[in-house]
Amino acid sequence: MRILAIREKTVALGSASRNSSIGFGGMTASALAIHSDAMRDGRPVVGLAFDSIGRYGHGGLLRERFISRLAEASPESYSDGSGGIDPHKAWALVMADEKPGGHGERCGAVGLIDAALWDLKAKLAGVPLWKLLAEVSGQATDGHVPVYASGGHYRDVDDIKLLCADISRAVDEGHRRFKIKIGGVTLAEDVARVAAIHALLGPGMSLAVDGNGTFDRAKTLRYVDALAPFALAWIEEPVHPLDYDLHREIAAASPLPLATGENLFSRDDARNLLRHGGLRPERDMLQFDISLSYGLVEYLRILDDLETHGWSRQRCAPHAGHLFAAHCVAGLGLGLAEVAMDQASLFGSLTAHLPLHDGKAVLPDRPGTGLETCPPFQTIFEDLLQ
User: Could you read off the pLDDT of 192-201 as tens digits, one per residue?
Assistant: 999 999 999 9
What sign results for the dihedral spanned by CA atoms 136, 273, 55, 318? positive
For range 151-165, the mean pLDDT = 95
User: What are the DSSP E strand ranges found in 55-165?
Assistant: 144-150
Q: Rounded to whole angstroms, how far apart are CA atoms 160 and 145? A: 29
- Is residue 309 annotated as a catalytic residue, yes or no? no
pLDDT score recorded for residue 378: 95
Q: What confidence category does residue 15 fall into, taking pLDDT thresholds of 50, 70 and 90? A: low
pLDDT score recorded for residue 16: 61
pLDDT score recorded for residue 115: 98
> How far, CA to CA in Å, does 63 sit from each of 67, 119, 335?
6, 20, 35
Q: What confidence category does residue 386 fall into, taking pLDDT thresholds of 50, 70 and 90? A: confident
pLDDT score recorded for residue 150: 96
Count of C-beta atoms within a 10 Å radius of residue 231: 11
Is the pLDDT reported for residue 60 higher than 80? Answer: yes
Contact 316, 334 (CB under 8 A): yes
Q: Rounded to whole angstroms, how far apart are CA atoms 68 and 159? A: 47
pLDDT score recorded for residue 347: 86
User: Could you read off the pLDDT of 281-329 as tens digits, one per residue?
Assistant: 999 999 999 999 999 999 999 999 999 999 999 999 999 878 999 999 9
pLDDT score recorded for residue 20: 66
Q: Rounded to whole angstroms, how far apart are CA atoms 332 and 133? A: 6
Q: Considering only 20-24, 183-187, 250-254, which range has the smallest mean pLDDT? A: 20-24
Q: Rounded to whole angstroms, how far apart are CA atoms 112 and 52? A: 9
Q: Rounded to whole angstroms, how far apart are CA atoms 300 and 297? A: 6
pLDDT score recorded for residue 344: 85
pLDDT score recorded for residue 324: 97
Is the pLDDT reported for residue 14 higher than 80? Answer: no
Neighbouring-strand partners of residue 85: 79
Is the pLDDT reported for residue 17 higher than 90? Answer: no
Stronger pLDDT, 176 or 55, i.e. the higher one: 176
What is the average pLDDT score of the chain?
95
Q: Rounded to whole angstroms, how far apart are CA atoms 364 and 373? A: 8
User: Could you read off the pLDDT of 244-292 as tens digits, one per residue?
Assistant: 999 999 999 999 999 999 999 999 999 999 999 999 999 999 999 999 9
For range 171-179, the mean pLDDT = 97
For range 231-254, the mean pLDDT = 97
Of the residues 35, 131, 179, 181, only one is catalytic, namely 181
Neighbouring-strand partners of residue 210: 181, 236
For range 206-225, the mean pLDDT = 97
pLDDT score recorded for residue 62: 98
For range 79-105, the mean pLDDT = 95
For range 333-361, the mean pLDDT = 94
Contact 29, 11 (CB under 8 A): yes
> How far, CA to CA in Å, does 74 sit from each of 44, 80, 218, 361?
19, 13, 56, 39
User: Could you read off the pLDDT of 23-58 as tens digits, one per residue?
Assistant: 777 889 999 999 999 999 999 999 999 999 888 999
Neighbouring-strand partners of residue 47: 34
Stronger pLDDT, 156 or 321, i.e. the higher one: 156
- Is residue 103 annotated as a catalytic residue, yes or no? no
Is the pLDDT reported for residue 124 higher than 90? Answer: yes
Please name which of 277, 260, 368 lies closest in space to residue 324, comparing C-alpha atoms: 368
For the entire predicted model, the pTM comes to 0.96
